[in-house]
A and B are shown apart, each in its own frame.
Chain A
Amino acid sequence: MGVSRREFLKLSGSTVLLGSLGIDLDPAKAYAQGLRIKGATETHTICPYCSVGCGILVQTKDGKVVNTEGDPEHPINEGTLCSKGASLYQVVNNPLRLTKPKYRAPGAAEFKEVEWDWALDEIAKRVKDTRDRTFKVTSKAKVKEKAADGSEKVVEKDFVVNRTDGIAHVGSAALDNEECYLLQKMLRSWGLVYIEHQARI
């Protein structure tokens, strides 16, 4: 929103007039915001975007991120960052972030906000339900077998496979190593084999 010329003149005519006559030339005076990082806590992180692995300093005050910038100690980026790295501040101070679980029922036109407990219970029920109905303990497979005379022939046999082909998973190269490890551990315990992520695309 701009200020119209008339309002603007009115404003400056009445209030700024005094200012313009006063002599205050203190050059050290920082404008409105001041140095907001003063006294902030610094935390080291690594940029979440590309794979260069640049170090970023996260400056926080009262549980809020007040600034992020390149970590000058980091040997790869030495304090520098590209535009994405420099935008980390806006990832954590962003009103568009999801802050509550949401659920969309079959055929529904909108999401509705739900409680975590409910969402997690419902997902667990679906995992079990689908797994139980689609779980294959064994599967037939054709394999080559050697007969006693040394000749090879193809035979079809039942093999233990302990898997479900009813659930698939994709993601994620944006997770931490420990999370990726936990995730594959959990998914495989459920019997999933359709597990993929960004590395394939």
Chain B
Amino acid sequence: MTNHWIDIRNADVILVMGSNPAENHPISMKWVKEAREKRGAKLIVVDPRFTRTAAKADVYAAMRSGTDISFLGGMIKYILENNLYFKEYVTEYTNAPFLVNPDFKTAGDLNGLFSGYDQKTRKYDTKTWSFQLGENGLPKKDHTLRNPHCVFQLLKKQYARYTLNEVSDITGTPKEKLVEVYKLYASTGRRDKVGTELYAMGWTQHTIGTQNIRAMCIIQLLLGNIGMAGGGINALRGESNVQGSTDQGLLFNILPGYLPVPTASVTELKTYIEKFTPRTKDPKSVNWWSNRGKYITSYLKAIYGAKARKENDFGYAWLPKLDEGQNGSWLVLFDQMFKGKFEGFFAWGQNPACSGANAGKVRKSLAKLKWMVNVNLFDNETGSFWKGPGMDPKDVQTEVFLLPAASSVEKEGSISNSGRWAQWRYKAIDPMGQSKPDSEIMNELYFRVKSLYLRQGGKSPEPVVNLTWNYGEKDSTGKVKEVNIHNVAKEINGYYLEDVYDKTATPPKLLGKKGELCASFVPLQADGTTSCGCWIYSQSYTQKEGKVVNMMARRGKNDPTGLGLYPEWSWAWPVNRRIIYNRASVDPHGRPWDPSRPVIKWDPVKPDPVTKKPGVWVGDVPDGPAPPMATDNGKYPFIMMAAGVGAIFGPGMVDGPFPEHYEALECPLEANLISKQRINPTIKLFGDKADAYFSCDVRYPFVASTYRVSEHWQTGVLTRHLPWQLEMQPQMFLELSEELAREKSINDGDKVIVSSGRGELWAVAVVTNRLKPFKIGGSTVHQVGMPWHFGWQYPEDGSGGESANLLTPTVGDANTMIPETKAFMVNVRKA
């Protein structure tokens, strides 16, 4: 989330598209309700299915799954055509005026492809996706937005094809509904109106997932809604700490704090810093990522401690490197496993046998392992895969270690919600039975592996034995007796390893004393004098006036802005900023666009507490302390972007600088109605028989989505074991329209078989008018839906049913590789 949960109450229009908060984030609806009651806010819900959220909407629009870009492209066109965009915001704070390479061609010019596509490699050469540079090395701009090569004009060109007729034909949404939604949402293009967007897996789980979000970012920038209270683009994350686990780098491509995982050719720390540090010649751009070198060096100091020295490149060589182009993402990981490439596997607090797309393939893959470690609160379909359906234990040679983990109230630590609030949880009781907190299991494993290397030697022991592990008192063998989780939190925050000075000041000013916790990431250094496990969490566990403070445990209820920011409740990354890009909520002189909800404002008279010079921001923690853009030394608002402005033109995407509508890999249409390019041209296609996909195949004629319900969570490992939750949602079900049910002679409550090219399962039919057939390009398209909370292992009598992921395809988004589980093709028959 750029904003945070309570901030929903500050919105005038709330667009729920790609999410279903009433079911998956129910408490958010408390703030939706507040916005409606107190501000008269309107709620728009766009969803293929009339959900519990839709039941509360002022405007509901049904849309065929996978056609969001078409829907939103139509909105972009509507906003531009009717001059409903926020002109000053667009010209000052976005790259709309930037001039693009004259050789760049939009997907409108090239029938669905952007310039630079290579059929053979299925990749773009992005040479033409660049800006024209002036003599000063800065992008050329046309603030009148009239130059035919400026981003604004290209945007118009790109979406000229997204007419109401075209969009209605693709989405199945009636034209009047489209206009109703467009008109209402575009009403937030005024400076005194703000709209927010709430999305979740409904947008990410598509082969065009990233571009779904990009399309909305463009709209939010056009309407001036980013940075504003009640605005932003807000990802409702699916798990309690999926924000934090991502922040902490538990992914193949990122280290903590979104530092890229190095590849083979990036041989030295110097090369790493050169390669991954964006540059700009624009003095008005903060370009925060120019600090990359400080963060990676401080990370290496955090993990290797005194062993990381300048002379050994701070241990950079010990970090595992990916081959050039090696992708270790989920679908590839299980594809490698399916091909027998792994001996060992950890499934730690996760149940891939039910949560992974094409779960049948995942389950077969598990059987190819030599050994597996499964850490969980309950037995589950992954740990017990060898006795699952279709498995003969005798034939499965995989050794399985099933380790009992403590629950969240049986240990201490922090988790980060979608609004980036890191909140501390305390231990209420001891772990149940012999179960252990996950950190203890890690402590044991780390120590035991290290001991083996110390005793026996082995292949390249340095990365293992040189790791710091100072998390508490050690026993006689050198093992940490019990992990003091506060020590870990402090390591994440970072320390001054020497007295650290600001050398730009005369005389140099002491920033921090050796041994103390860093005040924030600002004083971090690239010379090894600071350590920091995850730079964006620096300040979370810090020192204030000599006292160590766990900021994440704070429970202050002050709300000086009255906007519900609660700056003294827990702590939000970065540096306790509650609304990201908040410098875009003010005009170039620092005056709030909407004085009735000022997130920050520039007070030119009040002295800065640090510099003592007049001029200071009041309100939320601003995106950098520099004065407003229009003043001397002023800076652009989008500090994480090298150009300092919001990207309407996004050349960093692999599938195009503008979002373009493509059909899902499995879809009911022979052709894309808007171009010749049916599917996203850059997605990775997996080749095994197990990955088969079927488009426009009579065997699988219906569009399907998987989703969640409020009573269960993820694969149900927790909630299926809770009798209270199971009572409310006891069984796998399939929602289908009355029209389709009639066609198939299916009655409410009947058992049905749902099948796809990957597998089949039974479900109870929920026949409902909440799903309606779509009219797509003149023909009828049926859509069905089902939850993915069930699995064979529990309830033990098999009454729950199986995982919907037995049906989903092995294909992912072009940019993120998140599987396309929201749009695929199935068949349904009466059991």
Contacts and interface: CB of A to CB of B under 8 A. Distances in A.
B829 interface: no
Contact of A186 (B317, B343, B426, B445): B445
Given A130-B343, A178-B488, A181-B256, A101 B403 contact: yes
B320 interface: yes
Nearest to B437: A179
Contacts of B467: 185-186, 189
Contact of A119 (B403, B451, B534): B403
B423 interface: yes
A197 to B, nearest CB: 5
Nearest to A160: B317
B790 interface: no
Contact of A92 (B344, B355, B410, B463): B410
A44 to B, nearest CB: 6
A16 interface: no
Given A127-B445, A200-B251, A65 B428 contact: yes
Nearest to B570: A53
Contact of B322 (A41, A101, A193): A193
B375 A171 contact: yes
A97 interface: yes
A64 interface: yes
A50 B245 contact: no
Contact of A97 (B30, B247, B425, B432): B432
B207 to A, nearest CB: 14
Interface string A141-177: 1110000000000000101111111111111111111
Contacts, number: 493
B429 A65 contact: yes
B386 A104 contact: yes
Nearest to A165: B341
A58 B410 CA distance: 11
Contact of B452 (A100, A124, A137, A143): A124
Given A104-B399, A168-B345, A198-B245, A46 B423 contact: yes
Contacts of A169: 345-346, 348
B492 A197 contact: no
B819 A195 contact: no
Interface string B339-353: 001111111111010
A100 B721 CA distance: 17
Contacts of B619: none
Nearest to A57: B428
Interface stretch (A3-11, A18-26, A31-39, A78-86): A78-86
B6 A75 contact: yes
A12 interface: no
Contacts of A55: 423
Contacts of A127: 344, 445, 449
Contact of B328 (A83, A183, A193): A193
A125 B401 CA distance: 13
Q: Which 7 A-B pairs have the closest CB atoms?
A: A99-B433, A172-B349, A53-B417, A176-B413, A124-B448, A171-B350, A163-B320
Contacts of B404: 97-101
A119 B460 CA distance: 25
B417 A193 contact: no
Contacts of B371: 123, 126, 130
Given A106-B397, A161-B320, A162-B319, A182 B488 contact: yes
Nearest to B326: A193
B440 to A, nearest CB: 10
A179 B350 contact: no
A15 to B, nearest CB: 31
Given A121-B448, A176-B412, A181-B533, 15 more contacts: A46-B425, A51-B238, A52-B27, A75-B6, A84-B710, A91-B409, A97-B378, A107-B393, A120-B445, A126-B399, A173-B240, A174-B239, A176-B425, A189-B318, A197-B250
Interface string B388-412: 0000011111111111110111111
A177 B319 contact: no
B253 to A, nearest CB: 9
B721 A94 contact: yes
Interface string A109-148: 1010000100111111111101111110101011100000
Nearest to A159: B264
A64 B394 contact: no
Contact of B333 (A49, A130, A132, A194): A194
Contact of B459 (A45, A132, A174, A201): A132
Contacts of A65: 409, 428-429
Nearest to B417: A53
Interface residues of A, number: 117
Contact of B244 (A48, A170, A177, A185): A177
Contacts of A17: none
Contacts of A134: 343
A32 B436 CA distance: 35
Given A111-B402, A122-B401, A139-B264, A53 B419 contact: yes
Contacts of A121: 448
A177 B250 CA distance: 10
B250 A184 contact: yes
A102 B402 contact: yes
A162 B485 contact: no
A198 B341 contact: no
Most buried by A among B245, B417, B492: B245
Interface in B100-152: none
Given A84-B711, A91-B718, A132-B458, A177 B492 contact: yes
A106 B398 contact: yes
B452 A125 contact: yes
Nearest to B256: A181
Interface string B424-453: 111111101111111101111110110111
B408 A48 contact: yes
A105 B320 CA distance: 31
A120 B444 contact: yes
16 contacts: A43-B409, A46-B417, A75-B557, A76-B27, A76-B417, A84-B713, A96-B721, A123-B373, A128-B452, A128-B458, A159-B321, A175-B241, A177-B489, A181-B488, A182-B442, A196-B329
A83 B728 contact: yes
Nearest to B557: A75
Contact of B394 (A53, A109, A124, A143): A109
A79 to B, nearest CB: 10
Contact of B242 (A111, A130, A164, A173): A173
B243 interface: yes
B429 A63 contact: yes
Contacts of B797: none
Interface in B51-102: none
Contacts of B349: 171-175
A36 to B, nearest CB: 15
B333 A119 contact: no
B16 to A, nearest CB: 15
A180 B463 contact: no
A194 B342 contact: yes
A9 B468 CA distance: 72
A99 B26 CA distance: 32
Nearest to B728: A83
Contacts of A165: 336, 341-342
A76 to B, nearest CB: 5
B515 interface: no
Given A87-B725, A122-B401, A177-B492, A183 B348 contact: yes
A89 B12 CA distance: 37
Given A107-B397, A185-B303, A191-B320, A46 B240 contact: yes
Contacts of B453: 128
Contact of A100 (B428, B433, B555): B433
B263 to A, nearest CB: 8
